[in-house]
Chains A and B, each alone.
Chain A
Amino acid sequence: MIQLKPLIYLFFGTSLVLLIYMLIFLLIKNIKREKYKRWTKICNNIINNTVYSDDLNVKHHHKSIENLLLIKTFRKLLTKKIRSATVSFSGNSNNSLRKLYLKLRLDKYVIENLNTNNWHVKARAIQEIGIMKLENMYDKVYKNTNHRNELVRAEAQITIIKLVGFKGLKFLDSVTQPISEWYQMILLRELSHFDYDSFNGVDIWLKSKNTSVVIFALKLVDEYHLFELYKEVELCIEHPDEKVRQQTIRSITKIFNTTTANLFTSIFENETFNNQLEIAKALQKIGTEDDIPFLVHQLQTENIELKIILTRTIAQINPNNFETICSELDPDTYPMNLIILQIKEEITI
């Protein structure tokens, strides 16, 4: 027969232990929450005084700050808040926050984080160097611009630009790892914060073995209208990579000359479908009446998307004469009848 008493004791005993464990757990959690609240208040207070009264005398307001800074969690919280405020505020407040960061010697810890093997800690440290504009760490960051981890590499490239502007593009000379399209956009955005300064190297980057570097160089040509590099850009139209050729079409359209439209029509038939679309769109901007017979000829394509864009290009090159040209476009049969109707509506609008 089963002895019930020991089982009951065991049940109540276990329940009691669990209850005590839960109570202790909740108590510790509560203490931690209260401590976090208190620390948040201290950090906010330090930042408020810095932002609004340039008051960097933290020790005067918080006598225990030196001890608190020895606690890793507090230091991380304060650093996070100073970083966040530095990103949000400009002018004197921004300068004061950076002074505060240095005064509290938080830069000492950023070096520790930069030397770690943990990639996300490393990437965050690099980001912090950029936000706090720690120019003396340029060399340490530069070493990471070709890091095998994408995030570390991207943060290093962005930070280098943040620190020295256009001169920072020097990393493109040696980068062998790819630069994603997203990070190329961010790099261009970072450059836009600096006054345009002539920079050397684009002609070399256009010949890089790294296709993402070639694409980025083409985007620089496009963004800063580097007309003097027309010939170098023109050579990229024969690049084996489809995306490089696509970006070349876009960039050369921004610095076009009288021969560009002819260049496009000469390569059109051998190009991929996507690049044919790109050329048709580019001709909307730089095409002339001389290109219309070519465009009409290309309308023999079976692809409706290409037909629409080609027709739109014809209309945009010569809107006043579109009605007359329509007679050559097989206007009574499907799908040209519908396409012409749509494009006519677009012109009217």
Chain B
Amino acid sequence: MRILIAEDDALILSTLEFRLKKDGYDIITAIDGREALRKIEEHRPDLIISDIMMPYVSGLEIIGTVKEKYKDEMAIIILTTMGQEEVVLEAFELGADDFISKPFSPSELSIRIKRFALRKK
């Protein structure tokens, strides 16, 4: 399964990449929303893990664009900060498939990704 991680915090991006590569996934990373949209177009990932607050293009805009263009071809998990309930609701209205709040447990994220991988099969 190919996963794109869009996150402007380089440390979180690097740790997620490290873990998910160890879990055996094909990982593509993007440090901002604009790069994410370009790489989504280029690599057509099966799953997108995207932060909400990012430079240039926000996570919400990514959801909107992806769901309009690729419908259910790609699943999206959003990373939010605690207390952003309204943003989460907006993300679900736009078509996000799941969300996880920071601070999050990497093991929990890993389990959620496995669930998407099983669904994909």
Contact = CB atoms under 8 A, between A and B. Distances in A.
Interface of A: 44, 47-48, 51-52, 81, 84-85, 87-94, 189
A52 B9 contact: no
B11 A87 contact: no
B38 interface: no
Given A48-B15, A89-B104, A91-B108, 12 more contacts: A48-B18, A51-B15, A51-B19, A88-B11, A88-B104, A89-B15, A89-B103, A90-B103, A91-B105, A93-B105, A93-B106, A93-B107
Contact of A47 (B9, B11, B107): B11
A51 to B, nearest CB: 5
A90 B105 contact: yes
Given A48-B18, A51-B19, A189-B83, A84 B11 contact: yes
A89 B105 CA distance: 6
Interface of B: 9, 11-12, 14-15, 18-19, 22, 83, 102-108
A44 B14 contact: yes
Scoring B9, B11, B12, B83 by chain A CB atoms within 10 A of each residue's CB, the highest score goes to B11
A52 B14 contact: no
A51 B106 contact: yes
A85 B104 contact: no
Contacts of B102: 87-88
List 3 tightest A-B contacts by C-beta distance, closest first: A91-B105, A90-B103, A48-B18
B11 A44 contact: yes
A162 to B, nearest CB: 13
A51 B109 CA distance: 13
A85 B104 CA distance: 10
A85 B11 contact: yes
Would you call the interface of chain B mostly helix, strand, loop, or mixed?
helix
A51 B106 CA distance: 8
Would you call the interface of chain A mostly helix, strand, loop, or mixed?
helix
Contacts of B11: 44, 47, 81, 84-85, 88
A170 B108 CA distance: 36
Given A51-B106, A93-B106, A189-B83, A88 B19 contact: no
B103 A48 contact: no
B15 A52 contact: yes
A33 B63 CA distance: 36
Contact of A90 (B12, B18, B104): B104
Contacts of A81: 11
Contact of B12 (A52, A88, A91, A94): A88
Nearest to B106: A93
24 contacts: A44-B11, A44-B14, A44-B15, A47-B11, A48-B19, A51-B106, A52-B22, A52-B106, A84-B9, A84-B11, A85-B11, A87-B103, A88-B9, A88-B12, A88-B102, A89-B15, A89-B103, A90-B104, A90-B105, A91-B106, A91-B108, A92-B105, A92-B107, A189-B83
Nearest to A41: B14
A118 B57 CA distance: 38
Contacts of B103: 87-90, 94
Nearest to A90: B103
A82 to B, nearest CB: 10
B110 to A, nearest CB: 9
Scoring A47, A85, A89, A93 by chain B CB atoms within 10 A of each residue's CB, the highest score goes to A89
A87 B15 CA distance: 14
